[in-house]
Structure 1
Amino acid sequence: MSTVTVTAADGGSFSAYVAKPSATPTAAVVVIQEIFGVNQVMRDLTDAYAAQGYLAICPDLFWRIEPGIDITDKTEAEWQKAFDLFGKFDVDLGVKDLIATLDHVRGMDGCNGKAGSVGYCLGGKLAYLMATRSDADANVSFYGVGLDELIGEADRISRPYLCHVAEKDGFVPPEAQAQFVPVLEANSKATVHVYAGQDHAFARVGGQHYDKASADLANRRTTEFFRTHLA
């Protein structure tokens, strides 16, 4: 495990946490952060994708606001900080930084040129936009927020996309889900799974809404999806 520096398309640079698999060359996975920065949860996820055999990289997407954010979901102050960062975050620039990360990891020693993305919460939204705006080979969203506002881009999805939706997501109400779930289900490149009774971040280990059975199912589906499309 280490960090690398990625050059942004519009100048400047940002750090990214990297976890390498035991054997290379292999495909890469860009792991996209929640609103808490590149914290222990994200580093553990990045390590887990490396353990599955991928060159995994998790970029610091808040670098334009405040580099090095590493907070948790355990205190009210941290939640307030996270929502403040979320409010200041420029989604379009974030996607460009992810595309820069994708290009960077494809050029790293040990990458065979194939690369996908997987994101959680804010990262789930960004993974959807990687499916619509980038040439990533496969993309996965875990309980992405705001997809209803971006569903007009769905016809741009040209590579396999997997979307995990929490039925009782407090940040993605039923009326929002009704806007994007049917559109994605009608797209031949997209697969949608709705997890009955689950709330936002049901796959965040140690989180308030963590549900092991649903998390294990979503993770298993993600593993199979990447094995199919990044092999």
Structure 2
Amino acid sequence: MASLTIQASDGSGSFGGYLALPGKTPAAAVLVIQEIFGINKVMRDLCDGFAAQGYLAFSPDLFWRIKPGIDITDQTEAEWQQAFELFQKFDVDKGIEDLKASLTTLRGHEACNGRVGSVGYCLGGKLAFLMATRSDADCNVSYYGVGLLDHIAEVKNIAKPLLMHVAREDGFVPKDQQDEVAAAVAANAHVTLHSYEGQDHAFAREGGAHYDAAAASTANQRTREFFARNLRD
């Protein structure tokens, strides 16, 4: 693993994360946006996977303003409680600013060719959606984003490709809210939404309670093809 330090745009400090380098550079980059468990093995493995596909992959520590270095799992009740406490304390707007700072730093990295996309899961799925509405990332992928209805007025700002993976049986996002979001993004030609029938939240998290290998394989293949279309030369 290489190291990367990001300076916060508001001057409040700096933060790091997990950086995985591809075998050949310069290459396009992918911002891998964390769930509520910090930069844990799941996020590191995702970065390594994107690096194996030929991308510079970086997962920034977005909880650094609360407590740096959070690395927990979804395997115990105590860790879930800690994760939800972090989620409640997390400032979404500052998180987006930290992601935009990460985007700028990645674009200028010697191993990057200047093209950068994002992909996020759970909390990160919400943030990837907001990167599509608030940043100039070349493309973005949202896996089962939460709380998107609160930001539906921003759909009109999406000007770059956005791919959305929605768990139809998501325990954190009622179906009526899913339907409202789907109707809103349908009006924007830059957005492609796939709904996965019978799937619950985090169906693509290996080792998770709701992991479904078939649905995860389908979603991840769609993501692979999406990045190939929008980040490759």
Report TM bin, short chain. Answer: over 0.9
- Give me the identity figure in percent: 64
Bigger drift between 179-188 and 97-106 goes to 179-188
Aligned length: 231
Corresponding residue for 1:83?
A: 84
Corresponding residue for 2:10?
A: 10
Corresponding residue for 1:179?
A: 180
Please give the secondary structure, in 1, of the residue aligned with 2:216: helix
CA displacement 1:135-170 (0-9 Å, x = unmatched): 000000000000111111000000000000000000
Corresponding residue for 1:189?
A: 190
Instruction: For 1:178 and 1:44, locate their aligned partners in 2 and report how far apart those are by CA, in whole Å.
Output: 32
Q: Does 1:133 align with 2:131?
A: no
Q: How does 1:110-129 map to 2 (within 5 A)?
A: 110-129=111-130
Q: Which amino acid aligns with 1:10?
A: D
CA displacement 1:10-44 (0-9 Å, x = unmatched): 11000121000000111000000000000000000
Corresponding residue for 1:56?
A: 57
Q: Which amino acid aligns with 2:27?
A: T
Moved over 2 A (4+): none
Please give the secondary structure, in 1, of the residue aligned with 2:120: strand
Instruction: For 2:179 and 2:55, locate their aligned partners in 1 and report how far apart those are by CA, in whole Å.
Output: 34
Instruction: For 1:221 and 1:175, locate their aligned partners in 2 and report how far apart those are by CA, in whole Å.
Output: 25
Instruction: For 1:43 and 1:195, locate their aligned partners in 2 and report how far apart those are by CA, in whole Å.
Output: 25
Instruction: For 1:73 and 1:4, locate their aligned partners in 2 and report how far apart those are by CA, in whole Å.
Output: 26
Q: Does 1:224 align with 2:204?
A: no
Bigger drift between 173-182 and 25-34 goes to 173-182
Give me the CA root mean square deviation.
0.6
Instruction: For 1:54 and 1:13, locate their aligned partners in 2 and report how far apart those are by CA, in whole Å.
Output: 24
**Aligned-residue offset at 1:3:** 2.6
Q: Which amino acid aligns with 1:188?
A: A
Instruction: For 2:183 and 2:219, locate their aligned partners in 1 and report how far apart those are by CA, in whole Å.
Output: 19
Q: Which amino acid aligns with 1:73?
A: D
**Aligned-residue offset at 1:2:** 2.5
Q: Which amino acid aligns with 2:4?
A: V
**Aligned-residue offset at 1:109:** 1.1
**Aligned-residue offset at 1:172:** 0.7
Instruction: For 1:51 and 1:141, locate their aligned partners in 2 and report how far apart those are by CA, in whole Å.
Output: 20
Q: Which amino acid aligns with 2:214?
A: A
Instruction: For 2:3 and 2:25, locate their aligned partners in 1 and report how far apart those are by CA, in whole Å.
Output: 18
**Aligned-residue offset at 1:186:** 2.1
**Aligned-residue offset at 1:182:** 1.2
Give ranges in structure 1 of 5+ residues lacking alignment: none
Instruction: For 1:41 and 1:26, locate their aligned partners in 2 and report how far apart those are by CA, in whole Å.
Output: 23
Corresponding residue for 1:150?
A: 151
Q: Which amino acid aligns with 2:201?
A: H
**Aligned-residue offset at 1:71:** 0.1
CA displacement 1:54-108 (0-9 Å, x = unmatched): 0000000000000000000000000000000000000000000000000111111
Q: How does 1:158-177 map to 2 (within 5 A)?
A: 158-177=159-178
Q: Which amino acid aligns with 1:164?
A: H
Give ranges in structure 2 of 5+ residues lacking alignment: none
Instruction: For 1:198 and 1:170, locate their aligned partners in 2 and report how far apart those are by CA, in whole Å.
Output: 10
